[in-house]
């Protein structure tokens, strides 16, 4: 370095320090140090920062940034940095107060320390290290999950004060170092059949972040050639059969042995995370991370299992079936070929691993919950327990009837994928959904007045009441309080095996699975269930034709919808006649590709709905 350059840099250091003094150990004064002795080396943050990465985890409301890791080209003294040294940007800081259901200051810089490895450290007491760790506030909860885990993992950092090291001074910079790129997302609106307006997001670059809690899942993808190849899968939307590759994530306990017995959990994501990337279903809620956690595996062992295997299929919104169908729509899972593909995947896993057939569980949220519930009717007492959250509970309807010009076709009960007989060997019709699942072990979580149809039908037709308990959510809500409510609920006498927890207060559609999977008592209940209890429990006598009662009940439970423009216009679930069944009863349906719908109890003679 020549004399002129050295003089300019020294002057720059002094000017920087005069406006932003660095943090030093208590017995060192930085200004005299500069005056008495010229630093051996002066550089800028742009040159000294080698890399930026982020560390996240899966919280109750999905993947969440925990820390930003700055890699410097030299050891940084712990005393040389603090929160005022840096300015940050991250996804949490973009959230508004109305986006939160709990907590404040999301993503705000909370703690700064150094480390000798690129990871967080609970103690944070290293004297020096080449990595500066910037931990952010994670004590908050949102009402919705963003489009991708990569959005939650983006970050940018600006070093805004000089840092003194034994190898010289690192000057601040006006430029942020980032780990992301800005990308455009174009979603699909299933009601209109058209694309949604473009949305712009910051996406963390692949390899520039890690999300803890899901590392032990094996990713079976189309890209790496390990996706499950499903064959001859029937699609109820058009009556065709398809062969295609189904991506999925699989967790197998590290101590797995074929000589032991394991439970199996099928967990299915919601429609907002439709993708061929299995990591989306691992990160949109805490479910997958919880099922693979040590605490869940220990709980399984306390309940007589040697552990639990977890499978999480990834359903893409559009799939390139063949040259004639490069964008085949799989959105309607309970109708599409994705559902029989999941059955084929389940059969393959139960054949490959030592699975206890009495301990297979179904878990899903929103459309994923609808899917596991539809599957429960197709194989009587296949699942030992179901944990559906924030989903439409029933799906009875006449599939021969054309909606908006589109005909649905009933999936064939072939005795293999869809069973033709119940657990007692008697012929059954899986489309009489309310009858088929009336003996199942189900813990159903939903928001207030969201789909009470099954409660209405069971009470009106068979006089069976499903135990229900409200979970009031506010800023004082804790997991222990929710646990206590769930334990009280599932301890109530119950002739059906079905329980309903209703979340009220500051909640949204997604809040149900955020809080539900953040309530360990739900898992405690689930792992205590076996299919033997279902097989020993009689179904409700609903295997007979539906008939209307003489008068319509107009209680709160019977409300299906209220016109927003005219609250006096109320549509009710039809009141069934005591002693009748649910054969021929039609749940409310929405026509494919439109917002047109038929209200509950419609008859095949009703006029076809028109698209709006």
Asked if 274 and 198 touch (Cβ cutoff 8 Å), the reply is no
- pLDDT exceeds cutoff 60 at 2: no
Residue entry with tokens 């309310």? 434
Asked if 48 and 74 touch (Cβ cutoff 8 Å), the reply is yes
How far is Cα 499 from Cα 482, in angstroms, rounded to an integer? Answer: 15
How far is Cα 589 from Cα 506, in angstroms, rounded to an integer? Answer: 28
Residue with the larger pLDDT of the pair 528 and 184? 528
Asked if 361 and 312 touch (Cβ cutoff 8 Å), the reply is no
SS3 label, residue 76: strand
Share of the chain above pLDDT 70, in %: 90
Could you tell me whether strands 498-505 and 442-447 are parallel, antiparallel, or unpaired per DSSP bridges? Answer: parallel
Model pLDDT, residue 29:
33
548-579 residue pLDDT tens: 999 999 998 899 989 889 999 999 999 999 99
Could you tell me whether strands 62-77 and 86-90 are parallel, antiparallel, or unpaired per DSSP bridges? Answer: unpaired
Asked if 218 and 256 touch (Cβ cutoff 8 Å), the reply is no
Asked if 571 and 581 touch (Cβ cutoff 8 Å), the reply is no
Q: How many CB atoms lie within 10 A of CB 475?
A: 11
Model pLDDT, residue 416:
94
Model pLDDT, residue 332:
67
188-198 residue pLDDT tens: 776 666 778 88
362-420 residue pLDDT tens: 999 999 999 999 999 999 999 999 999 998 877 788 887 777 677 788 899 999 999 99
Model pLDDT, residue 591:
65
- pLDDT exceeds cutoff 60 at 9: no
Q: How many CB atoms lie within 10 A of CB 3?
A: 7
Share of the chain above pLDDT 90, in %: 70
Tokens of 256: 């797995």
Residue with the larger pLDDT of the pair 267 and 511? 267
Model pLDDT, residue 191:
63
Model pLDDT, residue 115:
98
Rg (CA), the chain: 28
For residue 590, which of 611, 573, 564 has the smallest C-alpha distance? 611
What's the distance, Cα to Cα, between the start and end of the chain in Å?
73
Model pLDDT, residue 304:
97
Sign of the CA dihedral running 270, 414, 324, 320: positive
Tokens of 612: 């709006």
Model pLDDT, residue 190:
64
In the chain, count H helices and then E strands. 15, 36
Asked if 536 and 491 touch (Cβ cutoff 8 Å), the reply is no
Q: C-alpha distances in angstroms, 561 versus 42, 172, 341, 453, 551?
A: 69, 59, 34, 12, 19
Tokens of 505: 């207060």
How far is Cα 168 from Cα 595, in angstroms, rounded to an integer? Answer: 65
Model pLDDT, residue 287:
96
For residue 526, which of 339, 309, 296 has the smallest C-alpha distance? 296
Model pLDDT, residue 393:
79
Model pLDDT, residue 401:
78
How far is Cα 298 from Cα 304, in angstroms, rounded to an integer? Answer: 10
Torsions phi, psi for 489 (to 5 deg): -60, -50
For residue 316, which of 327, 302, 325, 324 has the smallest C-alpha distance? 327
Average pLDDT over residues 459-467: 96
Confidence of residue 609 (pLDDT cuts 50, 70, 90): low
With b meaning 16 or more CB within 10 Å and e meaning fewer, what string describes 223-248?
A: eeeebbebeebbbbbbeeebebbbbb
Model pLDDT, residue 19:
41
224-238 residue pLDDT tens: 999 999 999 999 888
Model pLDDT, residue 517:
94
How far is Cα 102 from Cα 108, in angstroms, rounded to an integer? Answer: 15
Model pLDDT, residue 192:
67
Strand partners, 56: 65, 211
How far is Cα 449 from Cα 460, in angstroms, rounded to an integer? Answer: 17
The DSSP H or E segment spanning 212 is: strand 209-212
Model pLDDT, residue 27:
28
Q: What does the mean pLDDT of the chain come to?
A: 89
- Tell me which range, 6-20, 31-45, 498-512, is most confidently predicted by mean pLDDT: 498-512
Per DSSP, helices labelled H in 437-560 are 453-462, 479-490, 511-516, 520-527, 531-536
100-118 residue pLDDT tens: 988 999 999 999 999 999 9
Strand partners, 67: 55, 135
Model pLDDT, residue 16:
47
Side-chain half-sphere CA neighbours of 561 within 13 A? 9
- pLDDT exceeds cutoff 50 at 25: no
515-555 residue pLDDT tens: 999 999 999 999 999 999 999 999 999 999 999 999 999 99
SS3 label, residue 356: strand
Average pLDDT over residues 164-177: 95
Model pLDDT, residue 594:
62
Model pLDDT, residue 238:
84
Model pLDDT, residue 54:
98
- pLDDT exceeds cutoff 90 at 606: no
Q: C-alpha distances in angstroms, 587 versus 191, 386, 483, 552?
A: 18, 21, 32, 17
Contacts 24+ apart (CB under 8 A), 587-592: 587/392, 587/394, 587/395, 587/396, 587/397, 587/453, 588/453, 588/560, 589/397, 589/403, 590/191, 591/403, 591/404, 591/406, 592/237, 592/332, 592/403, 592/404, 592/406
pTM above 0.85, yes or no: yes
Confidence of residue 330 (pLDDT cuts 50, 70, 90): confident
Model pLDDT, residue 610:
56
- pLDDT exceeds cutoff 90 at 510: no
Model pLDDT, residue 36:
40
Tokens of 579: 């002693």
467-484 residue pLDDT tens: 999 888 877 778 899 999
Tokens of 376: 């429960």
Asked if 246 and 312 touch (Cβ cutoff 8 Å), the reply is no
For residue 149, which of 217, 69, 209 has the smallest C-alpha distance? 209
Tokens of 571: 């549509």
The DSSP H or E segment spanning 437 is: none
Asked if 226 and 220 touch (Cβ cutoff 8 Å), the reply is yes
How far is Cα 244 from Cα 312, in angstroms, rounded to an integer? Answer: 17
Confidence of residue 452 (pLDDT cuts 50, 70, 90): confident
- pLDDT exceeds cutoff 90 at 21: no
Contacts 24+ apart (CB under 8 A), 421-426: 421/380, 422/380, 422/381, 422/539, 423/380, 423/381, 423/531, 423/534, 423/535, 424/535
Asked if 61 and 95 touch (Cβ cutoff 8 Å), the reply is no
Dihedral, 552, 554, 556, 562 alpha carbons, nearest 10: 100
The DSSP H or E segment spanning 454 is: helix 453-462
């Amino acid at each position: 370095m020549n004399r002129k350059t050295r003089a300019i840099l020294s002057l720059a250091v002094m000017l920087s320090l005069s406006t932003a003094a660095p943090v030093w150990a208590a017995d060192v004064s930085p200004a005299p140090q500069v005056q008495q002795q010229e630093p051996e080396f002066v550089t800028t943050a742009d040159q000294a920062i080698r890399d930026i990465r982020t560390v996240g985890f899966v919280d109750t409301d999905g993947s969440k940034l925990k820390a930003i890791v700055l890699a410097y080209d030299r050891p940084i003294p712990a005393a040389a940095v603090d929160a005022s040294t840096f300015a940050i940007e991250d996804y949490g800081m973009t959230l508004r107060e109305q986006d939160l259901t709990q907590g404040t200051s999301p993503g705000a810089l909370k703690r700064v320390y150094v480390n000798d490895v690129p990871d967080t450290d609970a103690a944070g007491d290293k004297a020096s290290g080449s990595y500066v760790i910037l931990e952010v506030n994670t004590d908050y909860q949102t009402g919705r999950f963003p489009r991708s885990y990569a959005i939650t993992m983006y970050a940018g950092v600006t070093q805004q004060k000089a840092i003194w090291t034994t190898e010289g001074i690192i000057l601040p910079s006006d430029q942020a170092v980032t780990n992301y790129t800005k990308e455009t997302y174009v979603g699909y609106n299933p009601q209109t059949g058209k694309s949604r307006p473009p949305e712009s997001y910051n996406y963390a670059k692949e390899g520039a972040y890690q999300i803890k809690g899901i590392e032990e899942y094996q990713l079976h993808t189309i890209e790496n050639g390990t996706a499950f190849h499903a064959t001859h899968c029937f699609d109820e939307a058009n009556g065709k059969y398809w062969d295609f590759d189904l991506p999925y994530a699989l967790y197998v306990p590290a101590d797995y042995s074929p000589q032991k017995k394991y439970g199996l959990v099928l967990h299915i994501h919601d429609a907002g995370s439709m993708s061929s990337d299995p990591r989306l279903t691992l990160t949109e809620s805490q479910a997958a991370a919880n099922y693979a956690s040590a605490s869940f595996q220990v709980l399984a062992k306390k309940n007589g299992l040697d552990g639990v295997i977890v499978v999480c299929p990834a359903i893409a919104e559009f799939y390139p079936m063949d040259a004639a169908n490069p964008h085949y729509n799989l959105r309607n899972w309970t109708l599409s070929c994705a559902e029989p593909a999941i059955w084929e995947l389940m059969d393959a896993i139960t054949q490959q691993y030592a699975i206890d057939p009495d301990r297979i569980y179904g878990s899903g949220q929103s459309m994923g919950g609808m899917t596991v519930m539809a599957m429960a009717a197709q194989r009587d007492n296949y699942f030992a327990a179901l944990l559906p959250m924030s989903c439409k509970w029933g799906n009875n309807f006449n599939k021969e009837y054309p909606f908006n010009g589109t005909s649905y076709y009933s999936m064939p009960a072939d005795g293999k994928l869809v069973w033709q007989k119940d657990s007692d060997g008697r012929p059954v019709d899986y489309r009489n959904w309310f009858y088929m699942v009336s003996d199942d072990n189900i813990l159903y979580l939903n928001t207030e007045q969201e789909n009470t149809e099954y409660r209405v039908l069971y009470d009106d037709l068979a006089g069976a009441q499903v135990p229900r308990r409200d979970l009031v959510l506010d800023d004082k809500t804790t997991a222990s309080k929710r646990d206590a409510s769930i334990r009280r609920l599932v301890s109530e006498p119950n002739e059906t095996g079905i329980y309903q927890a209703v979340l009220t207060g500051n909640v949204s559609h997604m809040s149900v699975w955020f809080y539900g999977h953040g309530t360990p008592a739900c898992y405690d209940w689930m792992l205590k269930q076996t299919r033997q209890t279902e097989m020993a429990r009689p179904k409700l006598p609903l295997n007979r034709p539906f008939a209307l009662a003489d008068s319509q009940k107009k209680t709160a439970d019977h409300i299906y919808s209220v016109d927003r423009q005219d609250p006096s216009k109320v549509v009710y679930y039809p009141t069934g006649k005591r002693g009748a069944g649910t054969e021929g009863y039609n749940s409310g349906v929405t026509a494919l590709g439109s917002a047109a719908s038929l209200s509950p109890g419609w008859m095949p003679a009703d006029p076809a709905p028109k698209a709006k």
